[in-house]
Structure 1
């Protein structure tokens, strides 16, 4: 297992995974995109999307089906949270499906309604898009 930081040449693969998952595509220029590997194969992907100089939305956590059950999502989220902390971001949002709340709480995420008075407009719009487009409930969390 390892983490590989995507470069521009990896973007077709990254967005192919996001298309299969029904996620919003990535845009290399304002994102930190991490690919988790297993036995030197790309096994999953996740990202920090910078919405301002000191705010980001962590998301797009997707592990390919054949690599699930290997704790790769844990490694990927751990990397993204550490990257956010290393960059001293003031706010990190996350928009997971409701059933994933216990997983994200392990990393310090809490429901935004209990922690924030204002939410970045881009994140609020994406949250609404998720609520409108997914059959499952999508939460808005922030990193504490």
Structure 2
């Protein structure tokens, strides 16, 4: 068992001890009312954290820095089969190529062909031609 387990266990024991002391000091009825009030504020804080997380996750790719060396093509809402034919490979970027975040992230650089297809209603075929 790691340090995280013991930290969570210690926190749970501390909360239980605090609750027991509150019941002894204030009585059962008043402790119940105080716990209800504390629960409301904890719930509101959790709601605020969830909203901030949703807003951060929905950040649009348009406000992010992107450098493309080669070709970048974005296909969206294609009905039927999507066929991509390329003639010659592009020249590589000078310097290291790094990925930004898990998705299409900040300061992302692409060397080579980058095709992003979203909402294709059929097969996607990519062919390289000399």
TM-score bucket of the superposed structures, by smaller chain: under 0.3
Structure number with bigger Rg = 2
Higher share of residues assigned strand? 1
Q: Identify the structure with bigger relative contact order (alpha carbons < 8 Å, sequence gap 6+).
A: 2
